[in-house]
Each structure stands twice: as structure tokens, then as C-alpha cells.
């Protein structure tokens, strides 16, 4: 390659290089974890139901099979998911651009 040419960096290698620097940013780890917030809510309600089932031996009042429960969980967790995605992008843009 000649010296006066624009050096084209491999984009996927650069992405991996950026990802390697991720461990230095605690905030990004927290943000990455919030991306699974909908599932944390979901798992929490199932956990409560499961504990209820363990204690009483009967089926829990709230079940993950209930479509209404699914919709409510989805609606409640969507803002967290969307905002965490934005903050991931915002943090990355601040760090890298």
C-alpha cells in the first residue's frame, strides 16, 4: 500500500477493538445490563409466582401463560428497553465520535 493512500480499517475488527475497551466502562456494562430489563421484570413476576406456588402448592395467581400479563409486561418494560438502547448509543457516540 502506498503511503499517500487512505488507510481503510476493517470495520468488524474496529468493532471488536471498541468492544475490547468496553470492560473499562462500568457505565456501559450497566447500560448493557439494562437491555435485558424487560426480561428481568418478566423473570421477577415468574419468581414471585413460583415462590407462591412453592409455599402454597397451588397454581400462582399470575402466570406467564396469561396473554394479558405478557402485554402488560411488554408495555411496562418497553420504555426501559428503548431508553437503554438510546443511552448505549449516546454513550458510544460521546466516546467514539
Binding residues for other proteins (CB under 8 A): 1-2, 4-6, 8-12, 14-16, 18-19, 22, 28, 32-33, 35-36, 39-40, 42-43, 46-47, 50-51, 53-54, 64, 82-83, 85-86, 88-90, 92-94, 96-97
- Minimum Å gap between C-beta 58 and other proteins is 11
- Minimum Å gap between C-beta 68 and other proteins is 19
Residues in the chain, overall count:
97
Q: Whole-angstrom distance between the N-terminal and C-terminal Cα of the chain?
A: 27
For the CA atoms of 60, 63, 69, 73, what is the dihedral angle to 10 degrees?
Answer: 100
Amino acid at each position: 500500500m502506498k503511503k499517500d493512500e487512505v488507510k481503510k480499517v476493517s470495520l468488524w475488527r474496529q468493532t471488536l477493538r471498541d468492544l475490547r475497551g468496553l470492560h473499562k466502562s462500568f457505565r456501559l456494562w450497566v447500560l448493557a445490563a439494562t437491555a435485558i430489563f424487560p426480561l428481568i421484570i418478566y423473570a421477577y413476576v415468574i419468581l414471585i409466582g413460583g415462590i407462591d406456588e412453592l409455599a402454597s402448592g397451588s397454581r400462582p395467581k399470575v402466570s406467564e401463560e396469561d396473554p394479558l400479563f405478557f402485554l402488560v409486561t411488554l408495555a411496562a418494560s418497553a420504555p426501559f428497553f428503548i431508553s437503554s438502547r438510546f443511552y448505549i448509543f449516546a454513550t458510544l457516540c460521546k466516546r467514539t465520535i
